[in-house]
């Protein structure tokens, strides 16, 4: 059997020395031989066992996997999602609804593999070998589709080389996150999956993004969605604390997800489900059962107020969260944020743009109330509370009619393998029930 992990080598296996910018499998060849490798595939060197020298081990691996899995790949549809943001939300909506509509689907996300309502945490983004392993698991479990989140680094590292997509989705492209001399490289890396769409496949493209035309390759069947005039036009958007309603052309959409971004996320998913042979009425009915993603603008109702948990932890992400919250807020906006390792401009931004802010931390170094940083956090509309539990409790007590409480940089032991001492969702659930 061909393997790329020297630790997994068994007597008689073949070891392929994979390379990327952070890893060189050639350094583990001797370990592979010690573990019983009978053959080595590498781009350099001479070893005591059968050795095959190739120009590029990653290309060799991609071609090998493509040929090995050629027949099986016809049994499943591949859905790739590309974009600076929104990939996880779109993927999660497709995953929930396709399975609800008996179109069994697996999902390779940025941090987990989802299959049969089970979530396998990924320590790092999977390489092409692992992606084929997940695809095979999906096929063996009789999945009809598999969703794959595709990052720019995936393209640069060639992690999906050789795959062919039935559907590719473009959410958006934020060039501000990329260094000037890297902008074209990263844009090209996001376009690359659209060159890998099957002849009878579909490209689903956000028309409102200024780069949308770059993704509309002439060889593809391009489908556009957005507020601008296009095949799937979004209009008549209404946001409240319970749900979002809007229209896709003449069809009314009612989803139990809040914020304007989910209008785009659901529309991309709606088109995808149509192409997977789901009926419009069934999609819209199933949409009423959608659940939010943990720590991704996750709402909790509290009396007539709304508590929102989000993992946003830097100025750009938090500014975006505040912007979309202000679009539908009917009262004050209050926030709780762990200030540890955060730049001063973030606390300044929050104090300036919100009605009140509770700063907190789990780090005991802040116990010294004379600390200069703490003094800066004590203002007319902000305070510092060392205990995170007390900060949550106090922030809830400050809510008045129709206020919104943002819990930022969420601590959630369910979404990480790191050992942490606090879970915001669990704690808030207890407080709300009281």
SS (H, E, C) 117-184: CEEEECCCCCCHHHHHHHHHHHHHCCCCEEEEEECHHHHHCCCCCCCCEEEEEECCCCHHHCCHHHHH
Instruction: Collapse the DSSP code of 39 into the 3-class scheme (helix H, G, I; strand E, B; otherwise coil) and give the result.
Output: strand
Run of H or E including 374: helix 372-377
Question: What distance in Å separates the CA atoms of residue 22 and residue 1, rounded to the nearest whole number?
Answer: 25
Run of H or E including 237: strand 232-239
The CATH homologous superfamily of the domain defined by 71-287: Mur-like, catalytic domain (3.40.1190.10)
pLDDT score at 73? 92
Extract the residue ranges of the chain whose pLDDT is less than 70. Answer: 362-373, 412-422
Measure Cα distances from 179 to 6, 144, 184, 397 in Å. Answer: 36, 39, 10, 43
Question: What distance in Å separates the CA atoms of residue 430 and residue 424, rounded to the nearest whole number?
Answer: 10
Q: How many CB atoms lie within 10 A of CB 248?
A: 21
pLDDT score at 362? 63
Q: Which CATH class is domain 298-433?
A: alpha beta
pLDDT score at 179? 83
Fold of 2-67: 3.40.1390
- Per-domain boundaries in the chain: 2-67, 71-287, 298-433
């Amino acid at each position: 059997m061909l393997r790329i992990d020297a630790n997994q080598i068994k007597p008689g296996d073949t070891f392929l020395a994979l390379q990327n910018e952070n890893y060189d499998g050639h350094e583990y060849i001797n370990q592979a031989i010690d573990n019983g490798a009978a053959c080595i595939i590498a781009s350099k060197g001479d070893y005591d066992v059968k050795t095959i020298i190739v120009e590029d081990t990653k290309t060799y691996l991609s071609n090998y996997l493509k040929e090995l899995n050629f027949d099986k790949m016809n049994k499943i549809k591949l859905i790739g999602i590309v974009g600076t943001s929104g990939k996880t939300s779109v993927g999660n909506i497709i995953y929930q609804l396709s399975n609800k509509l008996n179109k069994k689907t697996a999902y390779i996300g940025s941090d987990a593999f989802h299959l049969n309502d089970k979530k396998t945490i990924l320590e790092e983004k999977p390489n092409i070998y692992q992606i084929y392993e997940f695809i095979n698991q999906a096929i063996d479990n009789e999945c009809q589709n598999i969703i794959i989140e595709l990052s720019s680094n995936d393209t640069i590292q060639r992690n999906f080389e050789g795959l062919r997509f039935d559907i590719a989705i473009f959410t958006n492209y934020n060039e501000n996150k990329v260094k000037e001399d890297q902008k074209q490289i990263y844009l090209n890396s996001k376009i690359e999956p659209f060159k890998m769409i099957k002849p009878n496949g579909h490209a689903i493209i956000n028309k409102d993004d200024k780069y949308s035309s770059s993704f509309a390759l002439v060889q593809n069947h391009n489908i556009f969605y957005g507020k601008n005039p296009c095949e799937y036009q979004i209009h008549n958007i209404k946001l409240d604390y319970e749900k979002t309603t809007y229209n896709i052309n003449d069809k009314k959409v009612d989803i139990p997800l809040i914020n304007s971004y989910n209008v785009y996320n659901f529309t991309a998913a709606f088109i995808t489900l149509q192409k997977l042979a789901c009926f419009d009425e069934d999609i819209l009915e199933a949409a009423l059962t959608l659940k939010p993603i943990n720590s991704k603008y996750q709402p909790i109702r509290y009396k007539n107020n709304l508590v929102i948990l989000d993992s946003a932890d830097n100025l750009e992400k938090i500014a975006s969260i505040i912007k979309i919250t202000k679009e539908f807020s009917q009262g004050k906006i209050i926030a709780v944020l762990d200030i540890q390792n955060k730049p001063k401009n973030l606390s300044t931004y929050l104090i300036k743009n919100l009605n009140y802010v509770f700063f907190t931390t789990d780090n005991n170094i802040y116990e010294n109330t004379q600390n200069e940083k703490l003094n800066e956090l004590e203002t007319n509309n902000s305070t510092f509370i060392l205990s995170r539990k007390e900060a949550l409790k106090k922030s809830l007590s400050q809510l008045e009619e129709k206020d919104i409480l943002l819990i930022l940089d969420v601590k959630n032991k369910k979404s990480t393998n790191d050992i942490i001492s606090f879970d915001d969702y669990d704690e808030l659930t207890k407080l709300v029930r009281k």
